[in-house]
Chain A
Amino acid sequence: MTTPRRLYASNQSEVDSAQWIDVFLGQGNQHMLIFSGIAMPAYDSYNDDFNREHIVVMFDQVVSAIVQASATVGLASIHNTDSDFVFATDSVSVFRDDDSGRLALDCQLAVQGDYSLLSRFSYHAVVIASIDEPYVSGLIRWDPGVTGPRSQQLLHPIHSTPSPPVSPLFKITALRDLSSPSDPSYPIAVPTPLAFTSETPAPTVGADGLHQVPYTLRLGNVPNAVGEPFYLQGAIEPGAFPHAHTELVLEQTSGPSFVTLSGSHLHEDGVDFLVTAVQVPK
């Protein structure tokens, strides 16, 4: 079994006319990806034997898994002097490269003749693949001068005593206002949670001196998370800042008020929150 020779679709000296299309099928995180191009292996033969070559065309698209795939290859450029010849594209398949997660086309070639050259073959592949998942992410920031010390040290201690479970400080919830079914004659929009996250990674200090933790609200298995708008609500968990001298709230400071994810916009990054003190009216 020979090691396949890799050609990269992103390299025009290895693959010409490389094109691809990505469409969202509206079912889970499944996409249909269509690839076409002309691979240029320039594989030649100087004898009457069947000379076989194993080619892999690497695409740029990273996927989680292949659901279904169909591919064809065909001769695109051949050359022979005055000998008998065979040019063959013997097999083709699509696979996911485990190291990189990228899609790739696997093709077996054969050439016979003195002299013969299989310079190019064309390919067309249709792949239904799972790609990533929708999510919203951002930073939660706070000013210790406003909040006072936190309730607990989130960083692991140096000494190896077992650390108690760390309680979350914040909760980010995705909500959508849905009509209450209790009284159809008097509809009331009820904030309905779709999903929430309560991650508590170790905080860092940002360039502006504020403490911050990143959050990611994953929505991969949430029905209708893609295609319909929702909004985010941040909350400070009870006891997170026990030394604060004022009431604290978590306010969204960047990103859209209503998030709408789509097949081409599965991620909404940069939706940040800030812990602020409630202004008490005088």
Chain B
Amino acid sequence: MTQLDPLILNPSLGAVIEGHWIELPIAGPADRNVLVLVGGVGIITEGTLDTEDEDETADTHIWIETGYEFADGDSFDPAPDAHDVSAAVQLASINVDGSDPFTLEISKVQARKITPLELATIVLKGGQEGGQVEPGPGTPGPATSNDELVIIVTVHQSGDCSLQRLGYRAAVRLFRVDPNRQVSGPHGDLNL
């Protein structure tokens, strides 16, 4: 079994296309005042998630950097029973050789906040372990200055096929110290 872990899709390198988000004020619950909605498509560089035949399988953790950076002091509870986070991912583009059996499966999805340090550590660890840490050649993109929203997807595949794109949507309910402040990021500031 081939283990590619983790694969990080970084928006600053064009790995996430049409990434976008909405921030809107909410009236409750009492300790939450902002809702963030994020969506986009994560691109996987050609040849990265390929399997060749039925006997070859791969299980991959894909970290989709959405490009959404939280404001200082933003807080929410990532635990599932806190109901602050929701994320969905779908197979958006696949390439299959129809003459062989294949399986492509998204088995787990979660969204969470990641610090720049944690992200850098994972990028470094992934590089050391032989995993591909970014879709394009070269080094990881510019480090973010704030915590970022990432979507972690567990993908299983086998057969002569490749996974090329993943569509994603996520929502985060959070408390912001200054709810009137909207955040900016590599895909633009909605305040503009």
- B101 & A81 in contact (Cβ 8 Å cutoff): yes
B98 interface residue, CB < 8 Å from A? Answer: yes
Residues of B within 8 A of A21 (CB): 35, 83-86, 171, 173
Shortest beta-carbon distance from B83 to chain A in Å: 6
Of B35, B87, B105, B173, the contact of A36 (CB 8 Å cutoff): B87
Residues of A within 8 A of B100 (CB): 82
The DSSP consensus for interface residues of chain A is strand
Of A38, A73, A75, the contact of B109 (CB 8 Å cutoff): A38
Residue of A nearest to B31 (CB): A264
Residues of B within 8 A of A32 (CB): 26, 35
Digit string of A167-189 for contact with B (CB within 8 Å is 1, else 0)?
00000000000000000000000
Digit string of B94-105 for contact with A (CB within 8 Å is 1, else 0)?
001011111111
Residue of B nearest to A22 (CB): B83
The DSSP consensus for interface residues of chain B is strand
How far is B93's CA from A75's CA once the two chains are assembled, in angstroms? 10
- B90 & A122 in contact (Cβ 8 Å cutoff): yes
How far is B29's CA from A121's CA once the two chains are assembled, in angstroms? 30
A19-B102 in contact given A36-B88, A37-B88, A124-B88 (Cβ < 8 Å): no
Digit string of B1-39 for contact with A (CB within 8 Å is 1, else 0)?
000000000000000000000000011111010010000
- A78 & B28 in contact (Cβ 8 Å cutoff): no
How far is B184's CA from A230's CA once the two chains are assembled, in angstroms? 40
Stretch of A23-31, A135-143, A190-198, A203-211 contacting B (4+ beta carbons < 8 Å): A23-31
The tally of residues in A whose CB lies under 8 Å from a CB in B reads 42
Residues of B within 8 A of A36 (CB): 86-88, 109, 169-171
Shortest beta-carbon distance from B10 to chain A in Å: 23
- B103 & A262 in contact (Cβ 8 Å cutoff): no
Return 14 A-B CB contacts under 8 Å, by A number. A20-B83, A21-B86, A23-B26, A23-B29, A24-B27, A26-B28, A36-B170, A75-B90, A85-B98, A119-B105, A122-B89, A124-B86, A263-B27, A263-B28
User: Which residue numbers of B lie inside 8 Å of A, CB to CB?
Assistant: 26-30, 32, 35, 80, 83-92, 96, 98-110, 167, 169-171, 173
Q: Which 7 A-B pairs have the closest CB atoms?
A: A263-B28, A74-B90, A26-B27, A264-B29, A24-B28, A77-B105, A36-B88
Given contacts A74-B88, A75-B90, A80-B96, 15 further A-B contacts (CB under 8 A): A19-B86, A19-B87, A20-B86, A21-B35, A21-B171, A23-B32, A36-B109, A37-B88, A38-B106, A73-B90, A83-B98, A120-B106, A262-B28, A263-B27, A265-B29
